[in-house]
Structures are given as structure tokens and as C-alpha cells.
A and B are shown apart, each in its own frame.
Chain A
């Protein structure tokens, strides 16, 4: 049980750079990671089942790919609620893959948001707002 800072891909799934002036979509953010770890987190199948319809599946698949983690199927499998193996796969992607150092990259402007010590810094400079 390590207590070290990280950013999870579920958080990545929510973040956008459309706060930058002129950027309309800003989603999904690219991930350029220099340090990624996979850490064990308690598996809660019910929680994961409830997350699946909420996440942007394509974005999650893309993120997993960018971090060279085991691929997810292109679509959630049918009746996933009872498919423990699949839920474990998703659990790993959403909760266990952790970006510690790197950058989130705006897909439109190329602006980098640094992730340092697991903390994405999404603050903009005055002229970007």
C-alpha cells in the first residue's frame, strides 16, 4: 500500500482544454507520459459496472493505447455486469493505471499541461483565457 500521488485515467476521461480561448473542443487530451505505474486498487465490480456507461469509451481506449497498456475491446462487451474478467480489465484501465509524470496535450492548440507528481496543472496564463 503506497501513498504516492497519481492521476487516474478516469480523471483524464473528464478533462478538457476547451477553457483555452479559441479552443472549441479540446477533447480528448493527449497524454505524453514519462512515468506511468500500475498499482493495485481494490476491485469493486459494482462500481466499475456503473462507471462504464459514464465514461467516454473511445477516449479511454485511446488513453490506454497511448500509455502502452493492454488494449480494451473497441466497445464494452455485452452483459458486462456479469463478466468479471472484462470488469477487471476496465478496473485496471480506470483505477490502476496511473500517470505520475508527463503532459496532457490540447488536441487543437498543442498546449501542454504538465503533470508533475501526479498533479495535472490546468491553470491558464492570463492571455489564454
Chain B
């Protein structure tokens, strides 16, 4: 039976429920009691430290009913949980990469599907017969286990090589082991076998098999049920690998020595098929783990292969890329690493999404005549796509994950690049481009982006552009980014019908909480980031909300700070400096850190570095945007203004 035989519906029936996560103090039982009245649930997934839950229905109708009834639903406070929680729900057609098997594999990992026949599998299971109690059998907390050859001692993660078991590797395994050797991926005939029997809902904690105790090339044969195995790299990277029944997994090299492997105790797995996501229940799974032991007397002469070195050299490459680009290729590399990749990761976790359309942009869209054709290039989570119901709006963004969020909100959107906008020339009435161009790393690329925006609008059509301003204080008024956090005014929520996102009150409470605990939480100004948190590795926490407003502690800089770097004038390689959040900008080209909050202080200090990553920005000086647009000679600037720390222009194509 293939795992794809599951009669799933054609489309997503998995709901992401914001504010129903472990991080909000919710439990599986509580989520179950809220959602189960709407139909049979396949699974509820709550992840450590996440402010959201995934609720998997067995059919779309039930999921839709739950969505219609529970979106915006409020959960009253309890003794344990002092705040009211408001649920915000959306359908997902994609879950974070660590929840759903991806095509990427840890290096050195070799999964071989249909490695044995179903008949062979039956024979192996019959041979084991877990019904009887043998001397070597033990009940572990999470599963049943049997050993052959040597007993694997879980306390020390090792075997006693001088104390072999009476029964070696069973003869019945010979055929499959011969076949495995013939693949060339393993060098030794194994002499130790551990058989585990997992009931649905059982798992095994992440671990690396003791490097000194076993040769390279561990093998795991899966029988009876599929399971998703989690692989984690010490740098935080987390990949999931599907192990179908009758498959053999060979772990070699980096995947064996560096990555940990484990199974999250769950009753089902989420898998992606060409029809969308589907939930497959786990059945009883029996795994055969084959190892070749290294005898203690041989261990002293051996060195464990060091795969960590590769990692360090990678890191150095990344660091060396943090210079101002000198060529087109370097610019692309920089943006790939410090813009595209970051947004993709941010978007992947839907948590804490807040959604406030900026009033002046909403007003601009509202003022367009009915029937206007409008594109939002770099639309992020699509917060402007539904502002005006009488115009046709389509969004484009470089990030597939962000576009998926737009799509879940029923907006028209596609994945595309601002430097190659796949829209026919001169057919749009209006194009908007909010907080995008400041992510392009050369003057040439920024100009080309504006050219593209102008290309797609008809003569007389309009282009509205927003970029982040170097000047975060104008006429002695500090921008929101520098100001102290406050509850956003009601007027900000022009877009309340689609605000499936956390509300301002929650936001304020969270901020208060974080301030009290003195976490080094930082907020991000950019509207796009309120889509969700960023979670570098799928394993840590998210910033559940973003906001901007903080007390600036630097002196006002306009006109007084010398601009150290001006990419348009200099070809020298300049190191990009990392900006200190909530302060005035000291240079125009910089990396803005995104730091994830952590409630657990000890974890915070340990993992601070891993929780920080950087987006590239070129912040614009007064008049810079206007001058650049005028230099293109195909538009006139009909409006130009400063709006909450951003420079904005409205162009008319001539």
C-alpha cells in the first residue's frame, strides 16, 4: 500500500490557528474541545513555544465549517492563562518545512523506497512476533524493543562488545542485508540489530548514534507504517524525511555524524502530494536498525570523521558576502541571502501575524476609479490586495511562502521578481510598490525596478512607491520606528474584515510582558514582517507580533551625520554594518537584525546568535527617491511625501 493511497480531498483541509499554540498556554485537549464539534479531527499539532496550532480535519467541509464558526472566536481567560485569546484561522496548503517532508535531504542520507517486498516484510514481522516475552525484550517508555547481536544500552548509547547476545543477526535478514551491501553505500555487514515497535503516538527523542561505537552507514528498515523522521543540524536546520513502509534508510557521513534523528510522537504525518497537503494516520511501525559495532580495542586508533569543518567554512563564505556588492552577481547573491531567504523563512511561520494597512496607501487605493487594473509588486502578505473591492488587484512577490498567504486569503497573486515583472507593458492603471526597492543593493537595480513599475502602467497611469527613510526624525517628530510603543489607533485598522491576525491589545500585552522580562526583543518596522515571525531553524520561538515603535536613544542625525557609504559613488568594497534597532541610521546600506524573542532566558543567551538574522536595506535620503525617478525621463513626480519614517512618491507615466 502506498502512503499516497489515503483518500484525501483535493485541497487543503489543514487549518493554522493563531493564538492556540503552546506559547499561548493552550493544550491539545483544549484545542480538541473547541474544534471537534465541527467534525472528525485527524490530528492536532502543537509545537513547543509556538503561538499557533495546526488542526487537521478529515474533510474540507468540516474544516470550512470550523473556520466559519471559529475565526475570531474568543477564549476566555483561565487561572493558568490570564488573557483572552482571539483565534485567527487560515487554511494552509503548506506547513513549515520541518512538519512536512521536503525534497532536501541531509547530506549523506540515502532513502531507498520499496527496498523489500510486502511479503518479505510480513515474514520479518512474523519472525519477530512481539506477542511473546523474550529475555532480551524490554518495554521502553515510548516503544517496545528487541536486540540481536549485542544489546544496545540506552543509558550509555553503546553496546558491551565483550558481551554478545546468544542470538546474532537473524538469518532472515540476510537477503536484505546482501542487497544493501550491493548498493555500495555501506561497507560492512552489520553485527548488531535493534528492533523497535512504535504504536501510533509514540516516538523517539532526537539523538546521534554514538560516533565512536558504530561504523559509518547506519540502516533503518521501516515496516508496517510510514513515519516522518526529523533530522536536525546543530546550526538549527531542521528537515523532515518521509520513511514509507518497506523502505530502507541509510545514514552515512554528515547525516550520520552531525545531524540528529528522531521521531516526534504523533498519531499522523502531514505529507505533501501533487494534490496538496494530506494527513496520513500512523499505524504500528516496526523498525529494524542495523549497525556494525567498532570494538573498543579498535576505537582508540580511530578518528571520527569531522564533518563540522564544512560548516565553518560555509559560515565564512556567508560573512564575506556581507559587503556592498561590486558586481551584478554579488548584488544578486547578497539579495538572495539577506532578502529572499530571510522573507521565505519569515513567511513560513504564520504566527503572530498582524495586519495593518498604512492609511495613506489605503486612501490612495480607495481613490482609484472602479474597474482599475492594479498590481502590487512585492505585495508581501497581500495586505493591500483587498482594500478596494471595486478594482482588480493582483499581487506579486519573490517569496512563494508569502504568496501562499495571499492565496489563502483569496487574493490573486503570483510569484515574480521586481526586476522581471511578467506583466504585459502598459496595461495597468496603477502599480504600487511598498517597502520593496530598499531591498535592492545597487543604484542600478533600484532604478531598473522603478523602470519595470513604469513599464507595466499605461501612459497617464500611476505608480506609488514607498521606501524606508534614512531620516527617522523629521521636523523634530520621531517616526513610529523610533517612538515608544503604543496601542495603534483604531483608525489603523482600515482593513479589519481581513485581519485574521493578532489584535492590537494582544500585541500590547506581549510587549509589556517582554519588557518586564527584559528580553532582548526587537521589533521590526517593516509591514511585511508582521506577516509572521521568523524562525530560523524551525525549532525556536517566534516573535509573535511585530511592531516598530521604540524609544530612540540616539541624537537626531539628519544633516549632521556624515554618510560613510554611498553605493552610487563608490566602487570600493565596503563592509555592511549591522544596524542597532530603534536607533537612527548611521549609514545608508546596512543589515537590519531580526531577533527572535525567547521566553526562556537561559535558552535566549545560549542561542542568541542563532536567533538573529539580517536583512539588507538601502535606506533612502531625502529627495533621493524623487531624483532617481526623475532621472528615468519617463514619468513625472506628482506627489512626494514623508510618511512615518518612509519616503513616498506618486509617479505618473508620461
Contact = CB atoms under 8 A, between A and B. Distances in A.
Contact of B416 (A100, A101, A123): A123
Contacts of A47: 370-371, 390, 392
Most buried by A among B67, B419, B424: B424
Nearest to B427: A14
Interface stretch (A2-10, A67-75, A83-91): A2-10
A11 B412 contact: yes
A124 interface: yes
Given A3-B91, A122-B416, A19 B421 contact: yes
B371 A14 contact: no
A5 B93 contact: yes
Contact of A117 (B60, B90, B276): B276
B414 A51 contact: no
B11 interface: yes
A14 B93 contact: no
B422 A54 contact: no
Given A4-B91, A5-B407, A46-B371, A16 B422 contact: yes
B414 A11 contact: yes
A2 B64 contact: yes
B428 A14 contact: yes
A19 to B, nearest CB: 4
Contact of A121 (B332, B392, B410, B414): B414
A101 to B, nearest CB: 8
A96 interface: no
Report the contact-size class of chain B (Cβ under 8 Å from the partner). 35 or more
Nearest to A95: B392
A118 interface: yes
Nearest to B276: A117
Contacts of A127: none
A27 B392 contact: no
Contact of B398 (A101, A118, A123): A123
A123 B408 contact: no
Contact of B414 (A46, A56, A122): A122
B155 to A, nearest CB: 48
B392 A5 contact: no
A36 interface: no
Interface in B169-211: none
Contact of B423 (A1, A10, A16, A118): A16
B370 A119 contact: no
Contacts of B93: 5, 117
Contacts of A18: 424
A15 B423 contact: yes
B64 A3 contact: yes
Interface in A25-63: 27, 35, 44, 46-47, 49-51, 54, 56
A92 interface: no
Nearest to B417: A123
Interface string B402-418: 01100111101111110
Most buried by B among A14, A15, A18: A14
Contacts of A122: 396, 414-417, 420, 422
A93 B487 CA distance: 45
A118 B373 contact: no
Contacts of A100: 11
Interface string A86-129: 00000000000000110000000000010001111111101001
B422 A15 contact: yes
B400 interface: yes
Nearest to A34: B274
A62 to B, nearest CB: 14
B350 to A, nearest CB: 15
B568 to A, nearest CB: 23
Interface residues of A, number: 39
A6 B392 CA distance: 15
A125 B81 CA distance: 49
Interface in B364-417: 370-371, 373, 375, 390, 392, 394, 396, 398, 400, 403-404, 407-410, 412-417
Most buried by B among A4, A27, A44: A4
A80 B265 CA distance: 62
B62 interface: no
A126 to B, nearest CB: 7
Interface string B603-630: 0000000000000000000000000000
Contacts of B252: none
Contacts of B420: 19, 122, 124, 129
Interface in B30-72: 60, 64, 67
Contacts of B398: 123
B12 interface: yes
Contact of B415 (A4, A6, A119): A119
Contacts of A129: 419-420
Contacts of B412: 7-8, 10-11
Contacts of B90: 3
Contact of A3 (B390, B410, B413, B419): B410
A3 B371 contact: no
A11 B420 CA distance: 17
B413 A51 contact: no
B332 A120 contact: no
Nearest to A20: B420
Most buried by B among A17, A18, A46, A119: A119
Interface in B135-180: none
Contact of A27 (B11, B12, B424, B428): B424
A101 B10 CA distance: 11
A81 to B, nearest CB: 12
Contact of A119 (B404, B409, B424): B404
B337 to A, nearest CB: 14
A50 B372 CA distance: 8
A47 to B, nearest CB: 6
A122 B12 CA distance: 23
Nearest to A44: B390
A2 B417 CA distance: 29
A89 B612 CA distance: 53
A44 B332 CA distance: 43
A10 B375 CA distance: 12
A75 B416 CA distance: 32
Contacts of A16: 422-424
Contacts of A113: 422
A122 B427 CA distance: 18
A4 B11 contact: yes
Contacts of B64: 1-3
14 contacts: A3-B90, A3-B408, A5-B404, A6-B407, A11-B394, A14-B423, A15-B424, A19-B422, A44-B390, A100-B11, A117-B276, A119-B404, A121-B400, A123-B398
Nearest 4 CB-CB pairs, A to B?
Answer: A50-B371, A5-B407, A19-B420, A122-B422
Interface of B: 10-12, 60, 64, 67, 90-91, 93, 274, 276, 332, 370-371, 373, 375, 390, 392, 394, 396, 398, 400, 403-404, 407-410, 412-417, 419-424, 427-428
